[in-house]
């Protein structure tokens, strides 16, 4: 998502919606590359709000930075403020079908329980979230094991 640059973050998100979000499809988009709260409030919930609501697919806001319990519950709360929520049969708040959240970084059997317990205390339905299954759930080998990570990508625009 950073290949478009910070100044074109909204354009990168719009491109993802245009290319991949259609009727009945799920589209997960990394949304915390720069500033998650700005992305939620000013891009997804501002500039692109109508597109998110009406494109027919489900946008999944992908999180990966910060304390998982705090970031997940704050993200859901902010999305409820922006897009609204319905109350399910168990009296928990559920985001509209066109928007959800996924947390992958720092996910373990312990953090999942902590996230869900905090969501329950805040009357946020578990329907709002999915969890990524990273290395922590297997042998806990991750980018912090050797204090090193390498990510490589390439972008070609107009043949260059």
Task: Dump pLDDT digits (tens) for 133-155.
Answer: 766 666 666 666 767 667 777 88
Confidence of residue 106 (pLDDT cuts 50, 70, 90): confident
How confident is the model over 66-91, as a mean pLDDT? Answer: 97
Per-residue model confidence (pLDDT) at position 51:
96
Q: Where are the alpha helices (DSSP H) in 8-144?
A: 9-20, 36-38, 49-54, 68-83, 109-121
In the chain the domains, ranked by start, together with CATH numbers, are 2-137 (3.20.20.70)
Of residues 9 and 107, more confidently modeled: 9
User: In percent, how much of the chain has pLDDT > 90?
Assistant: 70
Task: Dump pLDDT digits (tens) for 45-56.
Answer: 999 999 999 999
- What global pTM score does this model have? 0.87
How confident is the model over 65-94, as a mean pLDDT? Answer: 96
Per-residue model confidence (pLDDT) at position 139:
65
User: In percent, how much of the chain has pLDDT > 70?
Assistant: 90
Q: Are strands 58-63 and 99-103 parallel, antiparallel or unpaired?
A: parallel
Q: Is the dihedral of CA 145, 37, 73, 62 positive or negative?
A: negative
The whole-angstrom separation of Cα 118 and Cα 113 is: 9
Of residues 133 and 85, more confidently modeled: 85
The whole-angstrom separation of Cα 65 and Cα 68 is: 7
Per-residue model confidence (pLDDT) at position 109:
80
Confidence of residue 157 (pLDDT cuts 50, 70, 90): confident
């Amino acid at each position: 998502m950073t290949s478009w640059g910070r100044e074109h973050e909204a354009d990168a998100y719009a491109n993802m919606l245009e290319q991949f979000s259609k009727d009945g499809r799920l589209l997960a988009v990394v949304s915390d590359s720069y500033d998650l709260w700005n992305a939620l409030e000013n891009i997804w919930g501002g500039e692109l709000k109508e597109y998110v609501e009406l494109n027919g697919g489900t946008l999944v806001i992908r999180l990966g930075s910060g304390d998982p319990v705090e970031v997940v519950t704050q993200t859901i709360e902010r999305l409820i403020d922006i897009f609204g929520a319905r109350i399910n049969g168990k009296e928990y708040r559920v985001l509209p079908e066109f928007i959800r959240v996924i947390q992958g970084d720092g996910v373990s059997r312990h953090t999942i329980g902590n996230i869900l317990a905090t969501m329950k205390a805040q009357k946020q339905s578990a329907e709002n979230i999915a969890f990524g299954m990273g290395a922590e759930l297997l042998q806990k080998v991750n980018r912090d094991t050797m204090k090193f990570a390498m990510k490589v990508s390439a972008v070609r625009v107009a043949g260059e």
